[in-house]
Amino acid sequence: MAPDARRATLTRRVRSMGGRLVRRFGLLPAGTPDGLGQDDELVGRSWPYEVLVYFADTSEALYQIEQWYSTLEVLDAEHRVVVVTRDSRTAARVRAGSSLDVRTIAHYTTLDDVLARSSTKLALYVNHNPENFTCLRFGTLVHVSLMHGDSDKVVTVSNQTKAYDFSFVAGRAAVDRMARYATLYDAQARCIPVGRPQLDEQTAERERHRMLRTPDDLPTVLYAPTWEGGQRSAEYGSVASHGLAVVRALVESGRYRVLYRPHPLTGVRDASYGEADAAIRSYLDGLAPDRQAPGGWDGGGELATAFARADLLVCDVSGVAMDWLATGSPLVITRPAGPVAVARSPLTDLAPSLAAQDADGVVALVDRELGLDPTRAERLALREYYLGDTAPGAATAAFVEACERLFEVRDTELARIEAATQE
């Protein structure tokens, strides 16, 4: 071998070895899958799964799939489910947090090989990660977007939705939103309302917390803002524009306890959000640590638990607002500080809006909403429109039934294609 060829070969080997070491020791930049797959043990074999949940993200985005664990476990009891990741660290976290089977696949050719040998029928996705196209290419599956919440953010009418065969949505509101704002998209045919299975246990959780309340407890306001979004056009978050002023005003009124629950991605794109988040936490940490302390922050756990502790929600345009409707309690929605598009809806028209320049006036707004709740009847009427049937268990059952209907759709389509090729 010529010297130049030997040097080139050696360079490739060093780079390959270096890449493996970087992945093995977790030295990759945040958000980069480590690609440490189980490909060698999967190639040449079939698997028993009817449903594949494709999650290409790293652990920073686990909140998007975590909210689906319980629902997917119910589905798995009747139809085997596997979560496919591209990152071994994420796979370990999914295994630790759920009873679901997980496989890490680094190369799409491995998935191609396994699916060709298996009877997998349905692929589910909880976000619009561009890597989803690695799995979307397979025509033997029916592909369904679940997303990780319903909201009036423009992302819910993203053109990316067209990549999937169907979208499971919470209620009629999502169908109408897509029909109104999405171009060249048949929302009536491709959106399937299944409710919000994540809310099935919320009523019981709320009742447990109410039984622990005493007449002397201050009313609790939950401030649950969203993050700054992946780009300026999706910047609905209020942490930097409203956050500390809202929390301080409520606490210093002496009339309310404040529970602050920031979005887990707060500050990942815009440092000012991270700084504002730290300022709010620091302020709340400095308050008296007794039972009646007028504030605290929630670093994680089930959203239903935070909902159960609260009497009123202050939030941004986000999925949190929709889920809160199930509680029947009042809410206030912040107005984005920047020129961000909001898909106008019955809820954004109805709910009181709080602009950044009026953040100090939040106490009077909360006083009115908790004291009079002037829009209660209209808000309760919107609950089914946005969330479907909120009776415990109803949405989970609807989800499983919708998956089973799509199994039949898939089988019918494959039979049609096979017949066409034989003509």
Q: Is residue 422 part of a domain?
A: no
Which residues span the domain enclosing 334?
202-386
| CATH number of the domain that residue 286 is part of | 3.40.50.2000
Assess whether 221 and 359 both reside in one domain: yes
Assess whether 108 and 214 both reside in one domain: no
Q: Is residue 298 part of a domain?
A: yes
Q: What is the pLDDT of residues 227-241, one digit of tens each?
A: 998 888 889 999 999
Tokens of 32: 């980069």
Assess whether 114 and 236 both reside in one domain: no
The count of structural domains within the chain is: 2
Other C-beta atoms closer than 10 Å to the C-beta of 142 total 22
Rounded to the nearest 5 degrees, what angle is found at the Cα of 117, between the Cα atoms of 116 and 119?
Answer: 90
Q: Is residue 193 part of a domain?
A: no
Assess whether 135 and 267 both reside in one domain: no
Closest CA to 356 of 255, 249, 267, 263: 249
Picking from 21-30, 96-105, 349-358, 387-396, which range would have the lowest pLDDT averaged per residue?
21-30
Rounded Cα gap, residues 224 and 23, in angstroms: 35
Burial of 159 (0-12, 13-18, 19+ CB in 10 A): exposed
Assess whether 105 and 252 both reside in one domain: no
pLDDT at 25: 44
| CATH number of the domain that residue 36 is part of | 3.40.50
Q: Is residue 312 part of a domain?
A: yes
Last residue of a domain, one of 148, 172, 192: 148
| Terminal-residue alpha carbon distance, the chain | 55
Q: Is residue 192 part of a domain?
A: no
Assess whether 119 and 247 both reside in one domain: no
Beta strand 81-85 pairing with 101-104: parallel
Q: Is residue 413 part of a domain?
A: no
Assess whether 138 and 223 both reside in one domain: no
Assess whether 137 and 32 both reside in one domain: yes
Last residue of a domain, one of 148, 163, 193: 148
Beta strand 166-169 pairing with 191-193: parallel
Helices (H), 191-318: 202-212, 244-252, 271-285, 303-309
pLDDT at 288: 65
Assess whether 130 and 264 both reside in one domain: no
Q: What is the pLDDT of residues 287-342, one digit of tens each?
A: 866 655 787 888 766 788 899 999 999 999 999 999 999 999 999 999 998 877 66
Q: Is residue 102 part of a domain?
A: yes
pLDDT at 14: 42
Say yes or no to pLDDT of 204 above 70.
Answer: no
**Angle, helix 394-421 to helix 69-78, in steps of 10 degrees:** 60
